[in-house]
Chain A
């Protein structure tokens, strides 16, 4: 061993160093276990995350600046092309909307005949995604709107395609969204075609969900569209969750397990919609009103690009 390498025998400082390491390791383990279990640490964590927000804002800056730059740099021809495409899209949506409105009117009439409970109005709020990469093993988003903008824990988050997730934590200026693809997330679902009820779990990947414990005899096929069932009261009924891909027997061979492609664009959009003012309907009304409702977001008015809020008319 070269002379500069230092003595190899244990020095008194070494033992102290190891002891200090052990103390820190134990501390870290205690923190991890407490955080894993949830509980009071969650509240402390929420407080601490308020202090962290300027960092999130800073980290999102390059992406925001890049977007602004790109938008400034688009050429006239590009704008004209976009304009044509959007005009066409608007026409198609308008036509679709008109048809849906007829269906909604009919629905309301039939509902009146049945004298069943009217569904609550659906209000949405537009929120921008703060473009930062959090821990890649967890499927979460940070929104650029917080409790100061009226975002509350438990709100459902959707985009044009369908359900994205729910708000799990808020600070005055940001909110954290747990995506439906997170392994910790589960959504009560219903098959649009047959009305079979399922649970859809996250898989940890952005492009796949898992429908677990599907009975072998259940009327579920590949290509079926899954909607939220409204059971549990967390999510309003009728939002698209995804499309069933393949169905395979699970490990126990007593049930099927389906791969579901999410309907929402979960990887990285720019804005999301937060559902406001959804009051879970009473259980018996939910049970009668559950199957086969047109997705309410069909009537969402395209909101102004930068507006923080956009009140919209419900589909009824």
Chain B
């Protein structure tokens, strides 16, 4: 193993460029460790986001050697190309500076898709009993672990070419709520996810599923939404 890594990091805004750094190679080292080393020891003006460092917060997504990844759980040994790393901001979001991107459209899509819980009971009602082995709960469980990192958004072709598309993460979250028997907002949610750029815009390329660091399949969730919305449309509930 070489003593150093040759690291290129995107610097500047949309019209920036890659800048080369030499970073000491370690036995156990994540891509986030590399970025942190550059900021702490080589150039303190480098901007990037991270918080938990353990794959929970979804803050540290970057493009690593051409592929969107969560950098805190990505070991350099798994992704470096003969000791070379190219680290850039994730795609499909405007670059603010260096490795930080503007996630406004990503989170606005969550709101547009009504990907938030709508309570159907009050605090005075009995607590809902949700059986873990019910089909709806199993479907929700399969999609529930999303950490909002934006990797699926960066990997998605449809996001790139359709400005109206709600995106895999928001639709995946909507699917978990459609399957939440405590939720009371499903009709308006199904209307929200069948507007132009809704679930029907997905081409099922499965790039989101291929890149998701949590091994979720937003494609499967979106297919479920298409089926559910189709049934609701035929029953006349989406008028």
- Do the two chains bind? no
